[in-house]
Amino acid sequence: MPRPSESAPLIGVIPPYLLDRLAQHADARVSMPAVKTLIIDQQQRGLREMAVQPHRAKPAPAKRAGPAGKPRRAVHDAGNTTTLPGKLVRAEGRPASGDDAVDEAYEHLGATYKLFWDIYQRHSIDGDGLPLVGTVHYGEDYDNAFWNGAQMVFGDGDGEVFNRFTVAPDIIGHELTHGVIDAEAALLYQGQSGALNESICDVFGALVKQYALGQDARQADWLVGAGLFTAKVRARALRSMAEPGSAYDDPVLGKDPQPAHMDDYVDTPSDNGGVHINSGIPNRAFHLAATALEGPAWAVAGRVWYDALCGGRLRHDADFAQFAALTLEAAQRQGAAARDAIAKAWQTVGVQP
């Protein structure tokens, strides 16, 4: 059974170590928003930790969405405050608002629902029709986006390093997948299980983007958060699943620290034991498996990863090797080619012998 009190911290898409670096090394136009973002994230983290304490009364169930196969979206505007959810701007079925952030959030929430429903027959994030709620224009120059256990929240970015956080569909897919993980396996957000948590979110975030674009695995760029950085930053994206460690190399941001092989696994007390850093290893394994197979990544490799996540056997403290073993079991249902490709992928990154 999932343990939400252990697995449900506030998880922003921008790792704390990146915000720390901006706060310490950037000029005031960048450092001040980074500092404010770190403060807000810490406050929100405390609120969420209180919300999931087992002795506290559970909130009333949210109003459910409509029939399976149809999302129920609601996008709100916080008006650059931190009050949630804010003013409702666009509800399900309503026309475009003319606000780029509102309309991007609406479209990308829908794209995430569409992938999970069309391909995996999952009715929203919890599998039971949870309404997809988002809030845009959160805070002033807020440099993050997060899933708080009930809804998505998007900052506008500082305009110097970060664009608005609704710009990338895979970012929204990534964050909503944290909700799927909470519902299915509640992976402990620490060490290898935490890096698995981040990697699985990158996998399905990438699949959201690829499915929306109609790309097969070999056509895709395998970049997470392309477009999130401004043109002033030497960066292609936040992460590269194909080449971990190559997404950015910038005087202010520093160099992408992700390893691509277990030989380079980073033991660190920061970043919850390197959850955003070491996720590069299983990310690369998925990329290798998906691109070794014909067709779209969501069809075979994605199905295997989904079945491993949702099969009821993924421990909340699973390490890379345990998850790899579950993917190999799930791959048997997809045929010998799938199992061979996935086995070779895990071997290439050093997880399997």
Give catalytic residue positions.
Answer: 175, 276
* Amino acid identity at 329: E
| Partners of 184 in the β-ladder | none
Q: How many CA atoms lie within 13 A of 88 on its CB side?
A: 8
Cis omega (within 30 of 0) for bond into 4: no
Task: Assess contact for 152 and 85: CB atoms under 8 A.
Answer: no
The single residue listed with the structure tokens 């919300």 is 51
Task: Assess contact for 178 and 142: CB atoms under 8 A.
Answer: no
What whole-number distance in Å separates Cα of residue 105 and Cα of residue 136?
8
What whole-number distance in Å separates Cα of residue 254 and Cα of residue 243?
17
Burial class (CB in 10 A: 0-12, 13-18, 19+), 53: exposed
Q: What secondary structure does DSSP assign to 128-148, as a single string? A: S---EEEEES-SSS---EEE-
Task: Assess contact for 218 and 291: CB atoms under 8 A.
Answer: yes
| Partners of 87 in the β-ladder | 77
* Amino acid identity at 183: A
What whole-number distance in Å separates Cα of residue 205 and Cα of residue 174?
4
Task: Assess contact for 202 and 226: CB atoms under 8 A.
Answer: no
Q: Identify how many contiguous H helices and E strands the chain contains and give both numbers.
A: 11, 10
